[in-house]
Amino acid sequence: MPNLRRISKIKAPNANALAWELVAAARSHLSRVEADPIYIAIGIGETFDAIDALITAIVRQRIPVGVTLAATVSVWLDFYVGQDAEPRLRQLISEMNTYPPPWSRTRPQEGGHLCQNLASPEIRYRNILHHNGS
């Protein structure tokens, strides 16, 4: 059982920074028609909508993202439990095509889905801390 006291102290990832990280991962795969509304949403502070659109595009187009970015997205979504879009986004996150971080010697499992190993918030948070050198 995860340590709920520790998990409750987790800060939400910065949604604006997360949106721009997702844009960086997806930019070369998005048409201008797809990208413009995302940029506008970020610009006016509608980061939830922008991240939703980015997650959808990343999964639909099978754009590979780092496992740390996928974990950060999952932690971000933990702060939106109960939101109408949460179950759909949770499913999409589980389908993300991920690759391991550069410091890892492990290889992606068949199909490239490492997100299955990030089921618990405590594991995702530990991975983020490890990536940030904390």
Q: Compute the chain's Rg from CA coordinates.
A: 14
- pLDDT score for 30: 95
Q: Is 133 left (phi over 0), alpha (psi -120 to 50) or beta?
A: left
- What is d(CA 132, CA 127) in angstroms, rounded to the nearest whole number? 9
* pTM for this predicted structure: 0.72
What residue type is 129 in one-letter code? L
- pLDDT score for 102: 72
Tokens linked to 96: 């993300």
Query: Helix 86-94 crosses helix 67-78 at what angle (to 10 degrees)?
Result: 160
pLDDT tens column, 34-77: 999 999 999 999 999 999 999 999 999 999 999 999 999 999 99
- pLDDT score for 116: 45
The answer on pLDDT for 119 being more than 50 is no
Q: Measured at the alpha carbon of residue 33, what is the angle toward residues 94 and 25, in degrees to the nearest 5?
A: 40
Q: Indicate the pLDDT class of residue 11, thresholds 50, 70 and 90.
A: confident
Q: How far is CA 91 from CA 17, 40, 44, 87, 115, in A?
A: 22, 26, 27, 6, 11
pLDDT tens column, 61-117: 999 999 999 999 999 999 999 999 999 999 999 999 998 877 665 554 444 444 444
Give the CA dihedral 23, 68, 57, 25, nearest 10 degrees: 30
